[in-house]
Amino acid sequence: MEQKLWSISELADECGVTARTIRFYEDKGLIQPQRVGANRVYNYQDRARLTLILRGKRLGFSLEDIGEFLALYHTECDPDHASQLRYLLEKVQTKVKALRQQQADLEQTLRELMRIETECLSHLKMPEET
């Protein structure tokens, strides 16, 4: 069975990114396409890696974190993927904790801004003293 290959523009279109974005991830060593002549070609594994990279970025993980996670798949002979799952779990728990703190900070900021807004509206409705 012949494996499907994508050109850089096909992969970019399919994943909703630019070819420049894909080249950036290549420069960072996160994707390593094959070459057919001067053209880059991407296989199913490259597409899956790009999907993981984009998901990781969307969730706020650094390229370093994403790279470490992807590297575990190549360095470990772990059929249950326990090492990868432990690493991912640690990173997810850290991210959840940080996001909960950001959420609490945002809620406090919103309460304060709403209080200031109420005070401003109250002062604007009061007749001026002469």
The 3-class SS string of 51-119 reads HHHHHHHHCCCCHHHHHHHHHHHHHCCCCCCHHHHHHHHHHHHHHHHHHHHHHHHHHHHHHHHHHHHHH
Model confidence band, residue 81 (pLDDT cutoffs 50, 70, 90): confident
For residue 11, give the amino acid letter.
L
Residue 61: per-residue pLDDT: 94
Residues 18, 28 contacting (CB under 8 angstroms): no
Residue 104 structure tokens? 């609490």
Q: Is the pLDDT of residue 82 over 80?
A: yes
Model confidence band, residue 126 (pLDDT cutoffs 50, 70, 90): confident
Mean pLDDT across the chain: 90
CA 4: distance to chain centroid? 26
Percentage of the chain modeled with pLDDT above 70: 92
pTM: 0.74
